[in-house]
Amino acid sequence: MNSEAVHALIAKNPSLKPSKARLEAMEPGAYCVHRSWGFGQIQEYDEADQKLVIDFKGKAKHRMDPTFCIGTLDVLPPKHLLVRKEIEPEKIAQLIDEKPVQLIVETLAAFPNKATTAIDLEIILQQVLGEERFKKWWSATKKLVAKDPRIAVPAKKTECYVLRDEPVSAEDEIIEQFNNTRSARRRIQLAEELIAVAAKKTANDLLPLLNGLAEAIKDSNQLHAAERLFGAAVRDDLARILGVDIATLSPSMAELVSDTRRLADMADKIPVHFQTRFLELVKDAHPLDWKDLAFLLLKTSQGKFTTECINFLVENGHAEELAAILKRWQTEQNLRAPVLLWVVKNRQSKKFAKLLNELITPRLFSAIFFAIDYEALQSAGTRRIPLAEILSDDPDLIPDLLSTADPETARDLANTLLLNQGFEELTKKSLLARFIKIFPSIQSLVSGESDAPSEQLFVSRESHDRKQKEYELIVSKRIPENSRAIASAREHGDLRENSEYKMAKQDQQMLMAQKSQLERELARSRITDFSEASTEQISVGSIVDLRNPATSETVRYSVLGLWDGDPEHQIISYKTPLGLALLGKKPGDQIKVKSGGKENDYIITGISRYVDLPPPVSS
């Protein structure tokens, strides 16, 4: 828009005067970004119609009132990255592929004050590279940008990337960030980064940082025990570089690990690269009982710390004792999932195979199943269970664990697998096939479970709803309650003499069996109102009249659905022995009926339909 056009608009609408500069920027040829239409180029201003004509992607010659564009359309400077992608695509493609940091430098240079927020920068880069390529490219480029002395990198996305007027060294940037933050956590992180690049800095540069770090560790209430300990380690490393006696610094690392009750919680939270040093520190601070403490830490360890504990014990000459402890924990059913996972992963390694040989037994298999089941019952949703995954992924693991098993033990373990909550049904079938390959007799478990898979089970609506509620109660209430009871019982010590634990485990097996049976029966159930019954022969929904020819005694039975049995009212399920004996019979046929320990002959004298009974009269 030329000046005359802008003056004409403002004369017509004086409230536009503060937006004069924005209107003047809307000139033909300028590139722009609209809040709704995206990237485009202004082609002309139609003075007669007082409309801008803009080519947007996929919408050419779009006409817009400039007064409505003031708050929704931004005219881009000529060196903006989106403009450059349009007018010099080969150059931008080369920068993206070969000089990504230079691309960021030139992008920042196009902004006022040579700065923009991390959020805005990422939005622009995503538009230029495309969403699919952007994530991987930006992940790698960010690391290079962080090392470039020309660019100040923000700590948060809402803060700005800034193109500096003068390059700053990595050390100076870290010192600047350290001085600008009061966060104890951030200061520890920055001090650790500085140690890696501080070769060129003098004591005068670093001593204020040491004092600031020491103050943060000593006085900050933001830090939990593991963070304070790690911060003290970084502080001491910085002190050594400066030649400062660490004995003068407080609190000392030894003091921070003096309370043995807090060690397990600290071990859970320390950085992975600090784990070995943490164990060395425990050894130095507790010279008389460090070994017992290391075993306690191993017992409750997780992830890589499990491996670090084991390596630490072995390297300090306690391999045989470690083997004995692991065997004892197995007997006591105190081997937890992370340690079990380490055992099965390392059972064939050159370093540990001999140590673990006696552990690879059916008893260990039972412990693995328990750990998987326990984790599945404790966790919500679809959280992965590493032990279950390795049991599926390692084809040699089941054969190794069953190598010393007898058929009865193998069958018990296969039953445990079928009741386990940590596997999907298809996975259970796949794992069971590995059992069957070693012990073919286990095939009967599969056969027994799949008898008459296509047979429908006839049930009434009322009984189906009742069984559905029973199933939901087991799944949503009784199984979680049992899981909590097992967890509570485990805390009481030696499981061999723990009656509460044994009872809870027995309840678990019963609940799992009930759940599996209900799942199978509900899946095969067919709801019926018994209207398909006839009066010609007995079927589900028939009322049968019987007469004893010897005594002239008569009896009437209603043959109804699977779950409708009510002996007090002479209602029997069609799946009972008597129900099965009656099905298909016709008037005049003779059957035997057991009653009170005696077996009597009866003749069928009549068949009617249950649905034809008059409804009960309400009182």
The more confidently predicted of residues 85 and 380 is 85
**Widest CA span of the chain, in angstroms?**
121
Q: Which token pair is 435?
A: 């059992």
pLDDT for the residue numbered 412: 85
Most confident option among 59-63, 483-487, 598-602: 59-63
Segment 533-592, tens digit of pLDDT: 988 999 999 999 999 898 888 999 999 999 998 888 899 999 888 888 899 999 999 988
In the predicted model, is pLDDT for residue 602 greater than 50? yes
Mean pLDDT of the chain: 87
pLDDT for the residue numbered 425: 84
Scanning the structure block, which residue is given the tokens 């404790």?
378
Task: Tell me the backbone φ, ψ of residue 166, rounded to 5 degrees.
Answer: -130, 135
pLDDT for the residue numbered 450: 46
pLDDT for the residue numbered 460: 93
Helical spans, DSSP H, in 158-252: 170-180, 184-197, 203-219, 225-242
CA distance 133 to 126: 8
SS3 459: strand
Q: Which token pair is 237?
A: 């490393």
pLDDT for the residue numbered 64: 93
Q: Which token pair is 239?
A: 């002190």
pLDDT for the residue numbered 304: 93
Note whether 22 and 36 are within 8 A (CB).
Answer: no
Which pLDDT band, with edges at 50, 70 and 90, does 114 fall under? very high
* Structural domains present in the chain: 3-76 (2.30.30), 89-256 (no CATH), 457-527 (1.10.287.180), 542-612 (3.10.50.30)
pLDDT for the residue numbered 199: 57
Best CA proximity match to 175, nearest among 151, 207, 148, 145: 207
Note whether 33 and 54 are within 8 A (CB).
Answer: no
In the predicted model, is pLDDT for residue 529 greater than 60? yes
Least confident of 178-192, 250-264, 312-326, 495-509: 495-509
Least confident of 198-202, 412-416, 606-610: 198-202
pLDDT for the residue numbered 236: 94
DSSP per position, 501-565: HHHHHHHHHHHHHHHHHHHHHHHHEEE--STT--SSS--TTEEEEEE-TTT--EEEEEEE-TT--
DSSP 56: E
Least confident of 234-248, 383-397, 417-431: 417-431
DSSP per position, 91-123: HHHHHHHH-HHHHHHHHHHTSGGGEEEHHHHHH
Number of continuous H segments (helices) and E segments (strands) in the chain: 30, 15
pLDDT for the residue numbered 490: 66
pLDDT for the residue numbered 619: 45
pTM for the structure as a whole:
0.56
- How many percent of the chain have pLDDT more than 70? 93
pLDDT for the residue numbered 154: 87
Segment 373-383, tens digit of pLDDT: 878 766 655 56
The more confidently predicted of residues 12 and 290 is 290
Count of CB atoms situated within 10 Å of the CB of 494: 11
